[in-house]
A = this chain, B = another copy of it.
Amino acid sequence: MTKLKIGLVGTGYIGKIHALGFRNAQALFPDLPPIELTTICDAEADRAERMRKELGFLYATDRWRNVVEDPELNIIAIATPNFLHHEMATAALKSGKHVYCEKPMGVSLDEACDMADAAARANARTLLAYNYLRSPAFIHAQKLVRGGRIGRIFYFRGVYEEEYMADAEVPFSWRCEKVSAGAGALGDLGSHLLCAAVSLLGAPLEVSADINTVIPTRLLAGENAKQRTVENEDIAHALLRFPEGVTATFMTSRVSWGRKNHLSFEIYGENGSIRFDQERLNELQFFEKDVAESENGYRTILTGPSHPPYDHFIPSAGHQIGFNDLKTIEIAEFIKAISEKSPLFPSFHDGVTIEKTMDAILQSAASRKWVTVDAPIELN
Contacts and interface: CB of A to CB of B under 8 A. Distances in A.
Nearest to A210: B239
Interface stretch (A193-201, A220-228, A315-323, A343-351): A315-323
A280 B303 CA distance: 12
Contact of A297 (B211, B302, B315): B302
A163 B67 CA distance: 50
A214 B301 contact: no
Contact of A26 (B54, B268, B318): B54
A157 B237 CA distance: 10
A20 interface: yes
Contact of A249 (B249, B295, B307, B318): B249
A375 interface: no
A258 B17 contact: no
Nearest to A252: B249
Query: Interface on chain A toward B: helix, strand, loop, or mixed SS?
Result: mixed
Number of identical monomers bound together in the oligomeric complex = 4
Contacts of A256: 154, 268, 273
Nearest to A370: B368
Contact of A313 (B144, B282, B287, B322): B322
Contact of A27 (B19, B50, B150, B167): B19
A238 B155 CA distance: 13
B260 A304 contact: yes
A20 B24 contact: yes
A166 B292 CA distance: 15
Nearest to A318: B260
Given A256-B268, A257-B268, A289 B27 contact: no
A319 B298 CA distance: 17
Interface stretch (A97-105, A117-125, A240-248): A240-248
Contacts of A307: 294
A129 interface: no
B212 A261 contact: no
Interface of A: 13, 17, 19-20, 23-24, 26-28, 30, 50, 53-56, 140, 144, 150, 152, 154-155, 157, 159, 161-162, 164, 166-168, 208-212, 214, 234-235, 237-239, 241, 245, 247-251, 253, 255-262, 268-273, 279-282, 284-289, 291-302, 304, 306-307, 313-325, 368-370
Given A208-B210, A296-B299, 10 more contacts: A162-B318, A212-B247, A257-B273, A257-B288, A261-B320, A293-B317, A297-B301, A313-B323, A320-B322, A322-B323
